[in-house]
Structures are given as structure tokens and as C-alpha cells.
Amino acid sequence: MEQSDNLLNRLNQQYGSLSKGQKRLSDFISDHYDKAVFMTAAKLGSEVGVSESTTVRFATQLGYDGFPEFHRALEELVRNKLNSIQRLEVTYGRIPQEKILDSVLHSDIDKIKMTLEQTDRDSFRLAVDTILHAKTIYVVGIRSCAPLAQFLSFYLNLIFDDVRLLHTSSSSEIFEQMIRINSKDVIIGISFPRYSMRTLKAMEFANNRNAKVITLTDSIHSPMNLYSSCNLLARSDMASIVDSLVAPLSVVNALIVALCMKKQDEVMNTLETMEKIWDEYQVYSNDEINYIDDKVTVRLRKPEEEDG
């Protein structure tokens, strides 16, 4: 379903042709989609005083194959529409305080499982190949996605010579950092609901200069895919005060591992050089475990070296 053909558009366009019961369903969904998304067909019908069969026919009347497809469209609507306050209300309204830890961890596990089932392996391989052949790699992620962008760029810097994490305090500064981007380069844009317009504009800018564009986002319907040549999808939390980016981080990890496997010799040389620098400049504590050359050694301070 295209962004311009979302659930609210269908409700508005077909409202005049709906029956009285279906109009009550339409009104309830338009006003309370944040609650409707957690209801079954039977519960939704009961809420507005119609039968379950009327709710199912309502879904098909709107052009969906059935209630499951309609419900997926409703989830997509909620993903894009809920603000932080609404997410908080929805989350704490349905999770008992004593069950929060279990609920959040199980939810993250489910997101990883769904991502694994739905990942397009061809897109993943294309992303790896595109990054390998790029002259300069740009990475952009804003607000809650910034840690993902920083994590990805940190490890890409261990693998490639020219990696640039875009600093995103303003749109104009993003464009200034990308002024030399061209067809030999690639940009990796990371964004999840609520989607960042600055990330989208950065990808549009790169696309207009014929650079390769890779996105990491939550859905094929994400506006982040408008300018991308390769889409990596990962499920994120739909309704919470905190964005769940566990599954996206797993995809980032997989991307880094795949790239390392393609450039094993270069990565090993870089790590050996870095280890020497870390030792020389005492970057890490002496109480460190060293895994270089597959040999595990533990360096401990002698008693006389202890402070005090």
C-alpha cells in the first residue's frame, strides 16, 4: 500500500458508501486508532455495537483482503501517527507494572524473530556489495537513531578508509558535509518512526547527486525508501515511550560482520595496529583480556602497582 493510500485516506474516500454500522467503525478508528490497534475484529465490533462479521465486511469494503490485512494497515497508521505522549499512555495502559521487564524483553525477542523471518537476503547482499565498492561511505541517523549511526560508523572506520558520520544539528550543516558526494559514494540512512525529515532530505540530496542510497528502516512503506536503491528492514517497537532498536542493531551487527568477512586481511592488519596503539598510549586498563592471534592472555597489575 502506498503512503498516499493509507487507511485514513480510504476511510475518508469511502465514508459516504458505508452502512450506518460501518460508519460507526470508521468514526471510532479515526478518533481512537491508538486503541483500535489492540482490538480483535470481535472486540472492535463490540466496542461500537456491531457484529464481528460486520467488522470483517468493513475491512473488505475498504479494499483489504480481510481483517488481518486491514489490521496491518492500522498498525502502520499507528506507527506513523502516535506521538511520545500517546505512546506512553498506550504502553502503560496495557502492561502491568510488575510485568514490564518480562514484556519488554519478550517484545524485543519477537522483533528480532520477525526481522529474521522478513529480511530480504538479496537486499542484504546488495547492501554489503554496495558498501564494499563505495569510495566514501556516509552514515546518517538522527535523535534516537543517532546511537545506531555512531555504532555503525565506528566499526566501518575499522574496515574502510573513508567513512563519514554526518553531524546533524541542522539540515544546512548536513548538506555542507555532503557537498562532494557523487556516484562513487554511498549513504546509509537510518530512521524509524517517527521518521526524521532531515534524514530523508539527506538521502534525497545524495540521490540527486547519483550516490547509492541504503536505508535501514521498519517497513517497505517507510518514506525513507523513496530515494533508496537498497532497503534493509528491521522491526521496531510500535507503541512505546522508548523506541526499541534491538532488531535494527542486530541488522547493523550482521552488516558489520559480513563486511569484515569480505575484508578479513585488512581488518586484521588494522586491529593489530590498533592494539599496538592502545598499548602504547594506555587506551585501556591493564586489567584487560587480549584476544589477538586467538591467544587469550590476562594482564593483571602487580600488588605494588595498585594505587594507595
Q: How many CA atoms lie within 13 A of 292 on its CB side?
A: 14
User: In this structure, which topology does domain 114-262 adopt according to CATH?
Assistant: Rossmann fold (3.40.50)
Instruction: Please tell me the predicted confidence (pLDDT) of residue 2.
Output: 41
The better pLDDT of the pair 15, 231 is held by: 231
pTM of the shown model: 0.66
Do 114-262 and 3-81 have the same topology in CATH?
A: no
* Mean pLDDT, rounded, of the chain: 83
**What does the pLDDT look like over 123-180, one tens digit per residue?**
999 999 999 999 999 999 998 899 999 999 999 999 999 999 998 776 678 899 999 9
Task: Give the CATH architecture of domain 3-81.
Answer: Orthogonal Bundle (1.10)
Domain locations in the chain as residue ranges? 3-81, 114-262, 265-305
Instruction: Please tell me the predicted confidence (pLDDT) of residue 231.
Output: 94
Beta bridge partners of 186: 137, 212
Look up residue 188 and give its three cell numbers. Answer: 546509509
Instruction: Please tell me the predicted confidence (pLDDT) of residue 265.
Output: 87
Q: How far apart are CA 56 and CA 54, in angstroms?
A: 5
**What does the pLDDT look like over 252-294, one tens digit per residue?**
999 999 999 999 888 888 888 888 887 877 777 665 555 555 5
Q: How far apart are CA 25 and CA 62, in angstroms?
A: 12
